[in-house]
Amino acid sequence: MAGALAVRETAIPGLLIVDLPVHGDARGWFKENWQRAKMTALGLPDFAPVQQNVAHNEQVGVTRGIHAEPWDKFVSVTNGRIFGAWVDLRAGDSFGQTVTVELGPETAVFVPRGVGNAYQTLEPGTGYAYLVNDHWSAAAKASYTFLNLADETAAIAWPIPLEQAILSEADRAHPRLAEVTPFAPRRTVIIGANGQLGKALQPLFPDATLLARPDFDLQHPDTHDFTGVGTIINAAAYTAVDRAETERAASWASNVTAVRKLVGIAREHRARLVHVSSDYVFDGTQPEHTEDEPFSPLGFYGVTKAAADELVMTWPQHYLVRTSWVVGDGANFVATMQSLAARGIAPSVVDDQHGRLTHTSTLAGAIKHLLDTEAAYGTYNVTDDGPTETWFAIARRVYAEAGVDPAMVSPTSTEEYARGKAMAARPRHSTLSLAKLGATGFRHHG
C-alpha cells in the first residue's frame, strides 16, 4: 500500500528522510524514486544531481563506510534492504551526531556534504543507489573524511556484528572519532578584497579567501581554482561612471564579461553568488525604487550594471545587493568633502540629486546577514536608513561635523555643475526602498 510522500528532519542538520509511495500489484511495484518538483516543495534541497551510482551487493552483511564526501547524496534502495548509518563529521555542535535508519524501497535519505555515510545489507542481492551533485574523481576522493565503522563514540548498533560482516581492509583501518579532523566547510571567496567594500567585508568573513589585484584578474576569474568554494562575494567592479562613457570596452569587460564568467563558476560549483548592483540601473524618475522596478539606465555604466544583474539572475542561488552613494575606506564623496573642509575650500555641490548614503559597514553587514540567515535568494536594496538627502545637504553636514562653517558650501544644479565637464547622466532620485531587507530582520544603521 502506497503511503504519502513526505520529507522528515533528523538529529543531524540537513540529513533528511524521504518517505516514498510504493505502488504494488501482482506484477511487482513502482515508485517515483526521485521527483524534483514534489520533493523540493516538501523541503528537500534542489541539489541538482549530475551522476547516479549503483552498488550491487550479493551477500547479507556487506558493510561499507563511513565516508564523508564533498557532495550531497540522495540514497535509496532498488531492491532488498539495508541498515543505513550516518555520522555528522562537519565542524560544529552536531559533530559526531549519529542517525540510523533501515531502508527498503519505501525510504530514501538525503545526505548533505560532509556527513559520513555507511550501510549494511540485510538481504542478499541488495541494490544500493545514490544520486550525487558532482562528478566523482580521484582528486575528489582525496578530500573524503573517514570514520571507523566500530567507533565507540558513534556507537552504531550494527544488526550484523562487524566481526561477522563483510568489509574492506580500508574500511577496517579508518580512524576513531577523536582522531578525525572535521570535514572542511565550503570556502567563502571575496573578489575585490582591497576595495572599499572588500575591506569592510574582511573582518566579517575572517576565514575567507581574499582575491584582489595584482594576484587576481577579475576579467579572467576562471584562471583561479574555485574547488570547495560555497560562497562567492563579488565586491569588485568598474565604477568610474564618467570614464565609462568613453572607456566602454574596459567597463563592459569588468562589469559584464567578468560577471558572466563568475555566474558560470557559481553554477559549476553550486556556490551562492553575492553581487553588488547600483541605483544607476534606474533613470531616477521614481522618488523611491523597489527591487522589482524595471531597468532604465541613463548612461553606459548603468547599462553595464543592468546587464550584469540580468546575468546574475540566471543563477537561482544569488543575492543581488543593490546600493547607492557608497562611503568607506577609500575615495568617496564624504572623504572629498572632508578634505575640502580641512583646506578651507568653499565648494558648490548639486542640490537636485536625492538619495541616501551607504556606509560600507552597512553594506557588508547586510551581506553577512543575508548569508547567515539564509534569506530567500533574490534582489535586496541596501543603504543606510534615515531621510532622503541631497549631495548639498550631506556636504553641509560634513563641514559642520568637521567644525567648519557649513555656509561655505553653496548649492548648484546638476546642469550648472556639469557645464564644461565630460559627465555621464545621473539619476535625480536614488532613494532605495528598504522594506524587503527589513523584513528579513536586518537592522539598518546610518
Q: Are residues 360 and 321 in the same domain?
A: yes
Sign of the alpha-carbon dihedral angle for 253, 254, 259, 265: positive
* Number of structural domains found in the chain: 2
Q: Are residues 157 and 208 in the same domain?
A: no
Q: Are residues 247 and 120 in the same domain?
A: no
For 69-90, the pLDDT digits (tens) are 999 999 999 999 999 999 999 9
Does 200 reside within a domain? yes
CB-facing half-sphere around the CA of 224: CA atoms within 13 A: 25
Q: Are residues 128 and 232 in the same domain?
A: no
β-sheet bridge partners, residue 204:
none
pLDDT mean over 22-32: 94
β-sheet bridge partners, residue 85:
100, 118
pLDDT mean over 360-387: 97
Round to whole Å and give the CA distance between 404 and 398: 9
pLDDT mean over 334-354: 97
Measured at the alpha carbon of residue 376, what is the angle toward residues 373 and 381, in degrees to the nearest 5?
90
- The three-state secondary structure class of 45 is coil
pLDDT mean over 220-234: 90
Does 358 reside within a domain? yes
111's grid cell: 545526505
Q: Verify cis geometry, omega within 30 degrees of 0, for the bond prior to 185.
A: no
Does 445 reside within a domain? no
CATH number of the domain that residue 90 is part of: 2.60.120.10
Among 253, 281, 273, residue whose Cα is nearest residue 314: 273
Is-catalytic flag, 128? no
For 184-195, the pLDDT digits (tens) are 889 999 999 999
For 141-171, the pLDDT digits (tens) are 888 999 999 999 999 999 999 999 999 999 9
Element (H, E) at 131: strand 126-132
Mark residue 114 as left, alpha or beta (left: phi above 0; alpha: psi -120 to 50; beta: remaining): left
Does 299 reside within a domain? yes
348 backbone dihedrals φ, ψ, rounded to 5°: -105, 130
Angle of the 258-269 helix axis to the 300-312 helix axis, nearest 10: 10
Is-catalytic flag, 377? no
pLDDT at position 220 over 90 = no
179, 205, 230 - which closes a domain: 179
Q: Are residues 338 and 208 in the same domain?
A: yes
Q: Are residues 290 and 160 in the same domain?
A: no
Structure confidence at residue 395 (pLDDT): 97
Count Cβ atoms within 10 A of the Cβ of residue 411 and give its class: 0-12 exposed, 13-18 middle, 19 or more buried.
Answer: middle
Q: Are residues 230 and 247 in the same domain?
A: yes
Mean pLDDT of the chain: 95
Q: Are residues 203 and 173 in the same domain?
A: no
Pairing of strands 51-57, 82-88: unpaired
DSSP code of 153?
T
* Domain extent for 78: 6-179
Query: What's the distance, Cα to Cα, between the start and end of the chain in Å?
Result: 61
CATH number of the domain that residue 395 is part of: 3.40.50.720
pLDDT mean over 4-16: 97
For 231-250, the pLDDT digits (tens) are 999 999 999 999 999 999 99
Does 446 reside within a domain? no
pLDDT mean over 39-62: 95
Q: Are residues 173 and 223 in the same domain?
A: no
pLDDT at position 1 over 60 = no
Does 359 reside within a domain? yes
Catalytic residue among 119, 128, 130, 301: 130
Structure confidence at residue 221 (pLDDT): 85
> Count of CB atoms within 10 A of residue 183's CB?
21
Structure confidence at residue 418 (pLDDT): 92
Q: Are residues 145 and 214 in the same domain?
A: no
For 245-293, the pLDDT digits (tens) are 999 999 999 999 999 999 999 998 999 999 999 999 999 999 999 999 9
Question: What percent of the chain has pLDDT above 70?
Answer: 99
> How would DSSP label each residue in 49-83?
--EEEEEEE-STTBEEEEEE-SS-EEEEEEES-EE
Q: Are residues 127 and 193 in the same domain?
A: no
Among 186, 92, 242, 69, residue whose Cα is nearest residue 139: 69
Element (H, E) at 308: helix 300-312
323 with 282: CB under 8 angstroms? no
Among 242, 248, 303, residue whose Cα is nearest residue 277: 303
Does 114 reside within a domain? yes
Structure confidence at residue 227 (pLDDT): 85
Structure confidence at residue 445 (pLDDT): 55
pLDDT mean over 334-346: 97
Q: Are residues 327 and 290 in the same domain?
A: yes
113, 148, 179 - which closes a domain: 179
Round to whole Å and give the CA distance between 207 and 231: 12
Among 368, 375, 362, residue whose Cα is nearest residue 204: 368
356 with 432: CB under 8 angstroms? yes
pLDDT mean over 220-239: 91
Q: Verify cis geometry, omega within 30 degrees of 0, for the bond prior to 66.
A: yes
- Give the CA distances from residue 54 to residues 28, 121, 342, 425, in Å, rounded to whole numbers and listed in that order: 20, 14, 72, 60
Element (H, E) at 304: helix 300-312
179, 201, 230 - which closes a domain: 179
> Count of CB atoms within 10 A of residue 112's CB?
19
Structure confidence at residue 267 (pLDDT): 93
Structure confidence at residue 229 (pLDDT): 93
Does 154 reside within a domain? yes
Structure confidence at residue 446 (pLDDT): 47
